[in-house]
Amino acid sequence: MAGPPVIEIKGLTTTFRIGGREVAAVRDLDLTIAAGETLALVGESGSGKSVTSLSIVGLLPKGIGRIASGRLMLRRKSGETAELQALDNETLRCIRGNDIGMVFQEPLTSLNPVYTIGEQIAEPIRIHLGKSRREAIADAARLLVDVGIPDPQRRVRQYPHELSGGMRQRATIAMALACNPALLIADEPTTALDVTIQAQILDLLAKLQAERGMAMLFVTHNLGVVAEIADRVAVMYAGSIVEAGNVRSVFSHPRHPYTKGLMRSVPQLGEATALKEAGAPLQTIAGSVPSLVDLPPGCAFAPRCPHAIGACTTAFPDLVDTGKGHASRCIRWQEI
């Protein structure tokens, strides 16, 4: 059962300085995630998913990326509300790892090769909770048990290269959860893993979330993963959310042509073989994602959309409520 909102994002626009001009990588984004709820952020590479998560934790590249407008309100573990976009670096450092945990896509690059697994999990415990090294290492061993790593007393003394890919990702999850954060951001945490380990990691995240009641933002391009783990889904395209709602509603009745295209591009059981035998190609979305430097006027998806009309190219469409918490950024959603 979802609880009160943990993170509320209103009108987020994040820009990057490219070639002497400001380019919006995320435009007018609204998101809310409640305690105990998982929101999946879905879209092709370059759609703005990771930029959204980096905006939340204040890790945009200095001097290049910035939050141009919007509010990001986090309900911290203490119960107080922090406006993340207005905080200085020192306060943000107190929030990262403590109130917000983050799991990155490739565990081998997000772990430091010269420190043991135990030292890396213990670091946020020592910094944010003020525990001694001995206490923090003991907590790290218990966290390894929580994430399903056997023989924790030996593992805390090992280095990242001594663990398998699945174990490394479990260790990064333990590090992200070390201080029991209110919000967990998982940025494509299963992409670098084989399908069997992916399933184990998804089950682990769902189990830990249920036990801890935290909010989770799950960034992915995999619709199968969304169906497995998320309560609600927001579909991004060219920096904007084009459709949002609960997973069952969006998957069964997509109300934006981009979402419909994504759904059709996922082969159903036996479909790939049937198409191959018939000499027909798999379903795809024609064209490619437009450059953020040179977005088309109006709807960014219009050049690829089979339903586009003249009005689609004249004005940027609003994200409108289509009923029962389902929203679409398409002027023809009722026909679609």
Convert the pLDDT of each residue in 204-219 to its tens digit.
999 999 899 999 999 9
| Residue ranges of domains in the chain, CATH in brackets | 5-230 (3.40.50.300), 242-328 (no CATH)
Q: Who has greater pLDDT, 283 or 276?
A: 283
Do the beta carbons of residue 183 and residue 97 sit within 8 Å?
no
The predicted pLDDT at position 270 comes to: 65
Please give the angle made by the CA atoms of 189, 195 and 201, to the nearest 5 degrees: 40
What sign does the dihedral 247-258-184-74 (CA atoms) show? Answer: negative
CB contact set of 124 (below 8 Å; sequence gap of 6+): 97, 98, 175, 178, 179
Over residues 109-137, the pLDDT tens digits come to 889 999 999 999 999 999 999 999 999 99
- Computed over every residue of the chain, the mean pLDDT equals 91
Sorting pLDDT into bands at 50, 70 and 90, what band is 330? Answer: very high
- Give percent above pLDDT 90 in the chain: 76
* Of 74, 53, 56, 70, nearest in space to 7 by CA: 74
The predicted pLDDT at position 276 comes to: 66
